[in-house]
Amino acid sequence: MGITASMVKELRTKSGVGMMDCKKALIESNGDFGKAIEYLRKKGMSAAAKRSSKAAKDGAVASYIHMGGKIGVMVEINCETDFVAKTDDFSVLAKDIAMHVAAANPRYLKPEDIPEDILEKEKDIYRSQALAEGKPEKILDRIIDGKLKKYYEDACLLEQKFVKDTDISVRTLVNNMITKTGENIVVRRFARFQLGEEIGG
C-alpha cells in the first residue's frame, strides 16, 4: 500500500512524533493507523528507557487554575536542557499535566510512592472480596494483581488515563515527548489544592 504525505501528516498530528518516524511506522504497519500508533508507542517506550539514565535537571513549574479559582494545581516537569524547557511542546505538556491533575485528582505520582501499609490494606480488601465471592485460593494472587493495576490507574498520576486522550496514560504522554525531544523528561512532583478541602484529609 502506498503511504501518502497526508497519511504521514495525520499520524504526526495524532502522535506528535517526527515525520520520518511516522512514515517508517506506516510502512512497517502497511498503512494501518492503529498498528502504526502501537509501533510508535513501543518505540517511545524503548527510547524512554534509553533516556531515563540521563539527568533531568532543567524544566519548568506549570500551574493551572480551574473552576473560577476553586481548584489550583502546580507541577514540576524536568528535562535535560534549557533549550527543550523553553519549547512550546514542553510548555504544552506541562500545562496539560497540570490540567489533568486538576481533573483526575491523583493521590500519588507513581505506584512506588504508595505507602506499604496502604498497599497491604488494599490487598487485604481484594483478598477478602475474592474469598467472599468463592474464588479458589490458587488464583487469588492473579486477582489481587489485576485489582492493584486498576488501583494504580485510579490513584497514580503516571498510570491514569490522560483526560484529553483516554487511549493513552500520562506515562505514555511523557514517553511520547521523550521520543519527540530526544531528552529524558520526568514529572518530578505535583500539588493540588481544592478550596474548602480538609487539610491532610
- Give pLDDT tens digits for 124-175: 999 999 889 888 888 988 999 999 999 999 999 999 999 999 999 999 999 9
Query: Do the domain assignments include residue 67?
Result: yes
56 pLDDT above the threshold of 50? yes
pLDDT digits (tens, 9 = 90+) for 86-99: 999 999 999 999 99
Residues with Cβ within 8 Å of 200's Cβ and at least 6 positions away in sequence, in order, are: none
101, 133: one domain: no
75, 131: one domain: no
pLDDT more than 70, % of the chain: 89
Q: Tally the domains of the chain.
A: 3
78, 146: one domain: no
Query: Do the domain assignments include residue 201?
Result: no
- Neighbour-count burial for 116-153, b at 16+ CB within 10 Å, e otherwise: eeeeeebbeebbeebeeeeeeeeeeeebbeebbeebbe
47, 142: one domain: no
48 pLDDT above the threshold of 60? no
45, 70: one domain: no
Q: What is the pTM of this model?
A: 0.70
46, 74: one domain: no
63, 36: one domain: no
Domain housing 126: 115-154
Asked which of 51, 68, 84 is the last residue of a domain, the reply is 51
Predicted confidence at residue 201, as pLDDT, reads 44
Residue 53's Cβ-count burial label (10 Å; 0-12, 13-18, 19+) is exposed
What's the average model confidence in pLDDT over 104-117?
95
46, 126: one domain: no
pLDDT digits (tens, 9 = 90+) for 66-76: 878 899 999 99
166, 104: one domain: yes
Contact 201, 40 (CB under 8 A): no
H or E element in which residue 9 lies = helix 5-15
70, 102: one domain: yes
CATH number of the structural domain spanning residue 168: 3.30.479.20
70, 84: one domain: yes
Return left, alpha or beta for 168; rule: phi > 0 is left, psi -120 to 50 is alpha, else beta: beta
Query: Do the domain assignments include residue 199?
Result: no
Query: Do the domain assignments include residue 176?
Result: yes
Query: Do the domain assignments include residue 124?
Result: yes
Return left, alpha or beta for 163; rule: phi > 0 is left, psi -120 to 50 is alpha, else beta: alpha
Predicted confidence at residue 31, as pLDDT, reads 84
160, 150: one domain: no
